Amino acid sequence: MDGIEAQSIGTYHGMHFEAGRVDPVTADVDLLIVGMPLIPVTENPAQITCELDRALLGTLTHLRAGGIFKGGFGETLILSSLPAPVRARSILIIGMGLAAEITPDIMGNLAGIAARAAIPLDSGTIACLLALPDGDAPPASIA
């Protein structure tokens, strides 16, 4: 949602939800939820990096390479004691499965997995970066 102001989605059980752009490095939140797709064997995971992985000094790439976290659908992993410049107190990584297979229904299931994994962590502020592979989706669909 680049260039789009955060928009309120609503309130549920006393929690306020907004949709908008989240910078994974500078988001000052208790918990950052990040989706990590499965990378097919034919692709080189070392060449697929992101801003967050660079800020974590390649931790996400190393987790993939070591087989600790591959990004399979529904996998979860929590990282804490994060290095600067990452401002989140902890990160919950959610495996998204193959990016080519993600649909809005699957995204809804992933959001449910993320919520169930986040609840026991008792975080006051949470940012979620579960994104559909289609970066051209309209803002209302993203929300």
pLDDT tens, residue order, the chain (143 aa):
445 677 888 887 777 777 778 899 999 999 999 999 998 766 655 555 688 999 999 999 999 889 999 999 999 999 999 999 999 999 999 999 998 898 888 988 998 999 899 989 989 899 988 875 555 555 555 55
Helix (H) or strand (E) holding 15: strand 15-19
CA distance 125 to 88: 10
Bridge partners for 90 per DSSP? 31, 80
Q: What is the pLDDT of residue 1?
A: 43
CA distance 95 to 43: 17
